[in-house]
Amino acid sequence: MRSVRPGTISAAFADASANAPDSRTRDMLVSLATALHDFVIKTQLSNDEWRAGIAALARAGETSGDARNEFSLLSDMLGISSLVNMISAQESATPSSVLGPFHQRRAPKLPNGGDLWKGQPGEVLVMTGGVFDAATGEPVAGATLDLWQNADNGLYAAQDSQQRGRNYHGILRTDAQGRYAFTTTRPVPYTVPTDGVAGEMLRLLGREAWRPAHLHVIVEAKGYHQIVTELFPDDDPWLDRDAAFAVREELVIHFERCSDKGAMPDWLEARDRLPPEFLTGSMKFYIAPKTRTLERPT
């Protein structure tokens, strides 16, 4: 290996990794190293540029901790998170979208028909829909929807000392017919944190830090692949400029203006408290069973 050249360094790396105990790990790392070698050659990277890159990674490490992960944000802003989601998607299932940094494990239980709004400012939104088997189209009873979103001020509970810790976070279960409903407020667009390396990258690229408004959902049911996804209102100005590249057409939904409380499910907890005018939205989630072969029902 003593006469390594630009054209042979990737092969040398692969040869040096021949004894890796796990072949998948070896293949991924050899492939990553090869892609990085190609990048160095293609861009004719200088020593100063490479050192600047290493320093940026070190700064990302310094700003990362329990409450914040700058590498995860970089992955989102580079489009990697979104790409991993897309290539891991189960055919026929509802597309996935980025998890983002604000999911809270063990969110409070929300009764089906329950209320995340709780009289807080914002446009009141009634969401209804169901969870279905992507192979058969049959409703999935007892599926969980782990829901979280920002408040009308654009902030998630974790970012805002004025909100209770789990505000706008809740997990509900679909009923025997696979249905769900809840009240909330319309989520609003917001900017991702720009005070770290990911923000530096956005500025260097002349990019904006906005994400379109979205409602996060993790759909789960026993025997099915989990879906981590987001729903986006169709009138959001940032839909085509999401900093995280996470919008998919199938996840864009329309909010209808409504003034007929009586048309809402009678099991909606806040039905009688709804304002004279509110928004309604609907989404059917299709989840893929773990074993069967799939064909999207028509």
Residue 244 binds what, of Fe ion, ligand BEZ, none (CB under 5 to 8 Å, by partner type)?
Answer: ligand BEZ
Q: How far is the CB of 133 from ligand BEZ (least distance, A)?
A: 27
The string of DSSP letters for 176-232 reads TTSEEEEEEE----EEPP-SSHHHHHHHHTT---EE---EEEEEE-TTB--EEEEEE
Residue 288 binds what, of Fe ion, ligand BEZ, none (CB under 5 to 8 Å, by partner type)?
Answer: none
162 CB-contact burial (10 Å; exposed 0-12 / middle 13-18 / buried 19+): exposed
Closer by beta carbon to ligand BEZ, 98 or else 151: 98
Q: How far is the CB of 267 from ligand BEZ (least distance, A)?
A: 29
Number of residues that bind ligand BEZ (CB under 6 A): 9
The string of DSSP letters for 85-103 reads HHHTPPTTSPPP----TT-
Which of 285, 281, 248 minimizes the C-alpha distance to 264? Answer: 281
Which of 144, 181, 189 minimizes the C-alpha distance to 283? Answer: 181
On whether the CB atoms of residues 158 and 213 are closer than 8 A, the answer is no
Q: How far is the CB of 82 from ligand BEZ (least distance, A)?
A: 9
Give the C-alpha separation, 196 to 73, whole Å: 9
Binding of residue 76 to ligand BEZ (CB under 6 A): yes
Residue 210 binds what, of Fe ion, ligand BEZ, none (CB under 5 to 8 Å, by partner type)?
Answer: none
Give the C-alpha separation, 220 to 142, whole Å: 9
Closer by beta carbon to ligand BEZ, 101 or else 108: 101
Closer by beta carbon to Fe ion, 100 or else 196: 100
Which of 270, 252, 227 minimizes the C-alpha distance to 112? Answer: 270
Binder to ligand BEZ among 74, 192, 221, 274 (CB under 6 A)? 192
Sites for Fe ion among residues 92-131 (CB under 5 A): 100
Q: How far is the CB of 157 from ligand BEZ (least distance, A)?
A: 12
Binder to ligand BEZ among 74, 127, 219, 244 (CB under 6 A)? 244
Sites for ligand BEZ among residues 15-74 (CB under 6 A): 73
The residue number whose beta carbon is nearest to ligand BEZ equals: 100
Which two structure tokens, joined as six digits, stand for 273?
A: 């408290």
Q: Which amino acid makes up residue 194?
A: T
Binding of residue 189 to Fe ion (CB under 5 A): no
Closer by beta carbon to ligand BEZ, 92 or else 194: 194
Q: Could you tell me which stretch among 31-39, 56-64, 100-108, 267-275 binds ligand BEZ (CB under 6 A)?
A: 100-108
70-77 helix and 47-63 helix, angle to the nearest 10 degrees: 120
Q: Where are the alpha helices (DSSP H) in the chain?
A: 9-16, 23-43, 47-63, 70-77, 80-87, 197-204
Closer by beta carbon to ligand BEZ, 100 or else 130: 100
Which residues is 183 bridged to in the sheet? 115, 126
Q: Could you tell me which stretch among 98-106, 109-117, 124-132, 170-178 binds ligand BEZ (CB under 6 A)?
A: 98-106
Quick one: CA dihedral 256, 139, 89, 22, positive or negative? positive
Collect contacts of 205-208 with beta carbons under 8 A, ≥24 apart.
Answer: 207/77, 207/243, 208/241, 208/243
Closer by beta carbon to ligand BEZ, 150 or else 280: 150
Closer by beta carbon to ligand BEZ, 33 or else 253: 253
Query: Which residues contact Fe ion (rule: CB under 5 A)?
Result: 100
Query: Which residues contact ligand BEZ (rule: CB under 6 A)?
Result: 73, 76, 98, 100-102, 192, 211, 244
